[in-house]
Amino acid sequence: MKTQLVIGSRGSRLALAQAELVKAQLHQSNPAIEVAIEIIKTSGDVKTDPLSVIGGQGVFTKELEEALLDRRIDIAVHSLKDLPTAIPEALALAAICKREDPRDALVLRRRNGPKGTSASSVTALSNATIIGTSSPRRLAQLKHLRSDLVFEDLRGNVDTRLRKLDAGQYGALILACAGLRRLGLEDRISAAISTEQMLPAVGQGALGIEIRADDEETSTIVHALDHKFTRLACLAERSFLRRLGGGCLLPIAAYAVVREKRIRLNGLVTDRQGTRVVRDRMVGSLDEAEQIGIRLAEQLMEHGAAELLAQG
């Protein structure tokens, strides 16, 4: 059995916090293993254009996968929402860790900053409040929910985004609850947005551990970090996205939960302006997680999503 492992991670504070979380879990399950973290710079970290321009698929994962294939690292830790549904044949998604809060968060300015908006939810925001978000998925759903708000693009790591908010550049931000919690910034969550109002990204809140497909020793080691119900839920979500086209730039969202030995999957496709929303849900047994995602995607396509996808 291996006694040393190298984790590959992006260099952002959030990515490193997630890598440290995986490192701690590996130590807990295998105390004798030495685990190191190597920082890998990805395309998404270097480019400054909005994600809607450079494309979200693979920009935060490609270089990590190359490091795996080059055997510079043994494990790549990804925010699962960033990992494309189609991964190289020589690699494998060996574990999906227990999911953090998958919801999006409404984040307002600190009380000691410039005078800002006071609200308990997105629906309570004042008319024309400036919202910062870089996500087409969030943007489309927000426009559908509150077309009277003003939306501006937002890039940078979490700390940079919060500084811009507190300096008065935005009235509010929409960030992931999971990221804020992992950074110890739970107090910045002004309100968690319900999944009824805003469906999260596929895999949001979950960490994916990618390895070389032929690395059986590492597979055995990381298996202890795999959370069965999170994996089943994410498999349903990822098969939903894959059936709709995987790398499509249209806003697509999905969220699955496992309850009472059943998987309940909600899915959504919308145009970029949030004017046409196709949404539905499907329930099935635990042994058909991927089939549920495929069936829901096909059901949405029959109800208008195919036309939206064709228009791009």
Q: Which residues does the annotation mark as catalytic? A: 82
Measured N-to-C along each axis, helices 289-300 and 228-244 cross at an angle, to the nearest 10 degrees, of 30
CB 10: neighbour CB atoms within 10 A? 26
Q: Using alpha carbons, select from 106, 199, 201, 202 the residue that is nearest to residue 149.
A: 106
Tell me which DSSP letter residue 2 carries.
-
Q: Is 120 strand, coil or helix? A: coil
Tell me which DSSP letter residue 305 carries.
I
Burial class (CB within 10 angstroms; exposed 0-12, middle 13-18, buried 19+) of 21: middle
Q: Which tokens go with 168?
A: 């008065």
Q: Is 74 left (phi over 0), alpha (psi -120 to 50) or beta?
A: alpha
C-alpha–C-alpha distance, residues 44 and 53, integer Å: 11
Strand partners, 270: 277
Give yes or no for a contact between 41 and 11, defined as CB atoms under 8 angstroms apart. Answer: yes
Distance, CA of 161 to chain centre: 17
Q: Which tokens go with 251?
A: 């806003």
CB 86: neighbour CB atoms within 10 A? 12
Q: Using alpha carbons, select from 34, 41, 87 the residue that is nearest to residue 67.
A: 41
